[in-house]
Amino acid sequence: MHDERRRIEERVERAHNQRIKPAVYAAAVPLAVEAWQAPGEPVPFAEAAVAAYEPFAMGTPWGPPWGTTWFRMRGQVPAEWAGRRVEAVIDLGFVGDWPGNQAEALVHLTDGTPLKAVNPLNQYVPIGNPATGGEEIHYLVEAASNPDILAGEFAAPTPLGDVLTAGSEPLYVFRRADLAVLDEQVWHLDLDLQVLRELMVHLGEHEPRRHEILHTLDRAMDALDLDDVSGSAAAVREVLAPALARPAHASAHTISGVGHAHIDSAWLWPIRETKRKTSRTFSNVTALADEYDDFIFACSQAQQYEWVRDHYPRVWARIQESVKKGQWAPVGGMWVESDGNLPGGEAIARQLVHGKRFFIEHFGIETKGVWLPDSFGYNAAYPQLAKLAGNDWFLTQKISWNQTNKFPHHTFWWEGIDGTRIFTHFPPVDTYNARFSGEEMDRAVRNYAEKGAGTRSLAPFGWGDGGGGPTREIMERARRLADLEGSPKVVVEHPDAFFAKAREEYPDAPVWNGELYLELHRATYTSQARTKQGNRRSEHRLREAELWATTAALHAPGYAYPYEKLDRLWKTVLLHQFHDILPGSSIAWVHREAEAEYARVAGELETLTAEAIAALGGGGARVFNTGPYDRAEVVRTAEGTPVYVRVPASGSAPLAAAAPPPAPRPVTAEGRVLDNGLVRVEVAEDGTLSSVFDLRADREVLAGQGNLLRLHTDLPNYWDAWDIDKHYQNRYTDLLGTESVTVVEADPLVGAIRVERSFGKGSKITQTITLRAGSPRIDFETDIDWHEAEKILKAGFPVDIRAPHSSAEIQFGHVQRPTHTNTSWEAARFEVSGHRWVHIGEPGYGVAVVNDSTYGHDVSRTVREDGGTTTTVRLSLVRAPRIPDPEADQGRHRFTYALLPGASIEDAVAEGYALNLPLRVADSAGEPRPVVSVDGEGVTVEAVKLADDGSGDVVVRLYESRGGRGRGVLRTGFPLAGAQVTDLLERPLEEAGSTDGAVPVSLRPFQILTLRLRRG
């Protein structure tokens, strides 16, 4: 047989694109359109309904950046269209090939009922099937002119990322607003051809099936009347039918399709726009559910449901109905799809608590899995947290973006730092916006790593981020691929069903231990430093407010625990942990608002804490310790006088008599030397540390210039706010010049030296190096006025320690990472995340670097000529990406990091809490016992609060923090009637033995334990 593949393929392509696709709509008549430009921010429907509209013609530019234009559309279905499928077709002037992040609209009836959204790949609104003819059409269409921030693939900075800088020129040209007849035979023919053509080109040239489809398509084109596509469509489909009816191979891979619409809670648009995106997409989804009984849609992020409930009650009612019918599947069980590395442990627990509770309360459904397809890596505490929240499975996708190493599994058991395992799937289709194309189906099968052991994978399908979710075209593809030779089988089903089948067929799946590190987007540990600082401080202020509110509720008559306020503030913080807000990868508008929200949260929490302490009664200055460990350190009075105090964990002590003898050795500050009898710190003329001598261990800590500030050129290959590529290390400037090195405090309890530097494009750094009596911790209080572009600033501490690994705090524990680069996996971890501390050590001696708001760091080591080893810890302080926010990180930053010589892991944990939870001095006469205290090693209190159900029970969350066995006794500062071990949602799991107000505690390494304490 002659090879005529090229001729046939080109023939089919032209006929399909130039004849069949244009014939999908058989006839059309224009709608009459009027427009009203809403001033400023979006307005409610009621206001738009009575606005003054003006005539609007097709081809007219419309829509300033971030504007809202309301269109009034009127028309009448022609009588001759009776019995046919009639739709309104609206093209707002869609641009590009990405269906999200641009113009989109929500179509309403005149009574305000939302009908359906209009999106780039979902432009129709059904009128009648069949139409009766003569129907009057009257719509009000709320159209958002969101700018296409992604245009040009982020090649250049844009001012469009903030309404304050975006300008007012129209962005779009309205193309079409018609009533049209959908020719269903032609529409189905279009889909038949799409599926067969795409299947064909992804089959091997040696496959008989490929050639069978090719010649079937050739014969089909013979049956096509180019002058009457509609009239010949049925005949063409008859020719194609046998090829579409051939069943799949018995061993064909099975793909569980799950409808999905990944909607970033903020990214290249502000939160206010996400509220509208969700309503548009959810309108589409509920409409599609009415059309396809076999459709199932999985949707996460309780926050988005709440927005729709509060702002679009009619859409909310449709969601509730779809849930009842089993077509809408709440999943994920988190408040938002948060970042996987940066939120604290308690925050991730609350993400799960608030998310799961929302779905239980509003739908009577307890979600069974964590749904996080798009976060930028996943911390190693997740398996335990997920299981403690009642989850059985975990889904992710983003690890497919790895820059260096291909992740070896798609279905596996993920083991966390405490040993908990959770069944995990990583879809081989490598997208969470699948459309069942031939390319995707081929990729899913080729990629699938578990061949020979497993036979199935999951594919979330639908357009996200304002693309409108799943479409009828995708559903039709799924139907054609349900049982088709040469393709994997597609079945649309609930993700719970997929995970049950996958686990049943592959119970002994391989195990991946530790963090799921994404070898990309490493700069998200640092970008938008003020947003990250707002999160860190909010988490600790929430802890503080809950502890003292609980103390007041137990000991202050008449005090009312602020349930509603704390709930609301937690949800605000949880929202801003979304995986583009907290990582710093959103537009300027998002981060500007985030900083304002964090300031508001800080103010409210300060008020709540002050009110709780005031409720204990006034009468004298006391020191309050929110941390989980006893403290002995220097605080300042209201007048600024330093005082050395001792305060019990989670308790308080009088300021005046808080420090019984023995008193610590006094601090000396002379020249450029600080000494407190524990460590001696020498500052060089260039502002770096020339020596840190540990007087207790009689050893020099440093092996080079300490606190070396290094400015690197930082231009990643792509994705500026997201990425830091390894070549950043090759070009840098050390900031060694100083304007002054001055002793600014020389008190027996505090010594401080200030170093001032100017550099670059008008940037300035002022650091106050502080040493306090009784502590080896050296603080670097840092004030940066930052005006650089495409740079990253790091602070390095080269330490004379041969450390085989570093330990970095994560949620409820820490992870160890090798300091060598023997393998490509280790070399890829050139920038990693951590929370309050990083520790390096050799047998007998260690050093920690502690911080109050940074997350990114790197650890490396080298061997010196003298044979010793230098291990260097460097904190990433601030970056200067220009995309998508051209002014990212510009301006003032204030934070503190510290060097802790002679530190064990326990010391690092304690000082991490201490730096982030400073002692509070307040007027109070009350001397309540701490709500709880723990006697024993390694048992750390993470949260103290009243139970969410209003019962008055006290809930305490503990964990083992050293990585070993933890044993101790928890004692209460109130009469104890009994104790239960609960899950994260405070539901009982088992009784916890208690005697005389004491609960024995025994924990495995890094185990999390939640106790519910009943008051006597």
- Supply the residues annotated as catalytic: 374
71/105 Cα distance (integer angstroms): 10
Strand partners, 257: 459, 492
683/744 Cα distance (integer angstroms): 13
Q: Which string of DSSP letters, residue by residue, matches 71-108?
A: EEEEEE--GGGTTSEEEEEEE----SS-SSSS-EEEEE
412-448: buried (b, 16+ CB within 10 Å) or exposed (e) per residue? bbbbbbbebbbbbbbbbbbbbbbbbbbebbbbbbebb
- Reading the block at residue 132, the tokens are 């009766």
Contacts of 352 (CB under 8 A, 6+ apart): 333, 334, 370, 385, 386, 389, 391, 984
Quick one: which of 126, 64, 48, 63 has its CA closest to 90? 126
Q: How many CA atoms lie within 13 A of 899 on its CB side?
A: 27
Quick one: which of 175, 174, 266 has its CA closest to 466? 266
Angle between helix axes 184-201 and 472-480 (nearest 10 degrees) is 60
What is the phi-psi region of residue 997: left when phi exceeds 0, alpha when psi lies from -120 to 50, beta otherwise? left
Task: Give the Cβ contact number of residue 800 at 10 Å.
Answer: 19
Cα-atom radius of gyration of the chain, to the nearest Å?
31
> Looking up tokens 């989109």, which residue turns up?
104
Beta strands in 583-640 (DSSP E): 621-624, 631-636
Task: Give the Cβ contact number of residue 639 at 10 Å.
Answer: 5
| Residues 428/406, Cβ–Cβ less than 8 Å | no
| Residues 668/747, Cβ–Cβ less than 8 Å | no
CA 230 to chain centre: 48
> Looking up tokens 């790593």, which residue turns up?
449
> Looking up tokens 């606190």, which residue turns up?
707
Whole-Å CA distances, 498 to 383, 495, 963: 19, 5, 35
Our separate counts of H helices and E strands in the chain read: 18, 55
The one-letter amino acid at 15:
A
Dihedrals phi, psi of 67, to nearest 5 degrees: -85, 170
DSSP classification of residue 928: P
- Reading the block at residue 369, the tokens are 């899995």
584/578 Cα distance (integer angstroms): 10
DSSP classification of residue 538: H
Burial of 3 (0-12, 13-18, 19+ CB in 10 A): exposed
Whole-Å CA distances, 558 to 489, 561, 622, 972: 64, 10, 22, 21
- Reading the block at residue 185, the tokens are 């035979």
